[in-house]
Each structure stands twice: as structure tokens, then as C-alpha cells.
Amino acid sequence: MRDMNTKRVILHVRAIRQHPNGRSEQINRKVLDLLRSFLKDHPHAKEIREAIETIERELAEETRRRKATFGEYAQRWLATRRDAGENVALVGALLRQRIEPEFGDRRLDAITPAQVKRWVETRRRESRSFEIERDLLRSILVAAAAEGVIEQVPGEHHLR
């Protein structure tokens, strides 16, 4: 039988879905990250993880419905990397400094192959860390395509 704290956690996770305003998505992601950090030792980790995954799918669907910008999606993608133990600070800095100035305000579904090609050509000339930046952009766009946020990766052949 579940203890009272487990019931509260699961109810809280489920309640996250009921906040319709735009700001709630940022708060929801922070709460989900916090909950993930407690899962290792929790006796009902599986149930809580399933609730979190359900909410993440719903948030992804909401992002698709709202026609998310690259910047919005990239921040959500970056939040999922925290679990993988990647160097989030470095990846976040590259994202903010090198990729978001070009694509951050654009809707994901409005990014064209020509824009990707132009960015690749510019970054190749100007940046010593071009391969890392290119791979980061590709990873985000591939994830968006895999989730169905976009139909295909724009300019995929330029990102190889």
C-alpha cells in the first residue's frame, strides 16, 4: 500500500497538467526535474516516473499545438539532458550564444533548409567549435522531428 507522501507526490504530479497558462510550463518543468531527483530512493519510483512521462508527453503535445519557437523547444530539450548527466551549463551556453540568436524566435516549423545552410556556412567560417554547435543544432532538430513537433529536420543534409 502506498504511503501518504507517495499519494501526495502522485497527486501533485497529476495536478501539474491542470495549469493552462503559458508560464506554468516553465514551473512544470522545474517541478518535474525536482521530482526526478528524488526518484532514486523512492519506493514508488516507477509510478511517479510514469506520471512524469505522461505529463511530459502532454507538454510536448501542448508545445506542438502552440507552434513552439526553436528557443522554447530547445530549453525543454535541454531540461531532458539534465537526467543524462551531460554538461548542461556548457551546452546551454553554446545554445544561447551560438544557435538561439539565429533560430531562437523562429517557430520550429518555419525554419527552412536555406536558413540552416546559411547558418552552417557562417558558423563554419567564424567558429572554432563549429562541429559541436552543428551537432547541437542537429540533436535538437532531430529530437523535435522524433517527437512529431516538426515533420522533418530542415536542411538535414547541411547538418552532417
Instruction: Give per-residue pLDDT as tens, 113-151.
Output: 999 999 999 999 999 999 999 999 999 999 988 887 888
* pLDDT of amino acid 15: 57
Asked whether 42 and 8 are in contact (CB, 8 A), the reply is: no
Please identify, among 15, 50, 66, the residue that sits at the C-terminal boundary of a domain: 66
108: amino acid identity, one letter: L
* Number of domains composing the chain: 2
Answer whether 0.85 is exceeded by the pTM.
no
Residues ≥6 apart with Cβ < 8 Å to 77: 139, 140, 143, 144
Residues 11 and 82 in one domain: no
Residues of the chain with pLDDT under 70: 1-32, 40, 63-66, 82-86
Q: Is 57 left (phi over 0), alpha (psi -120 to 50) or beta?
A: alpha
Residues 45 and 93 in one domain: no
Q: How far apart are the first and last CA of the chain?
A: 52
* pLDDT of amino acid 68: 83
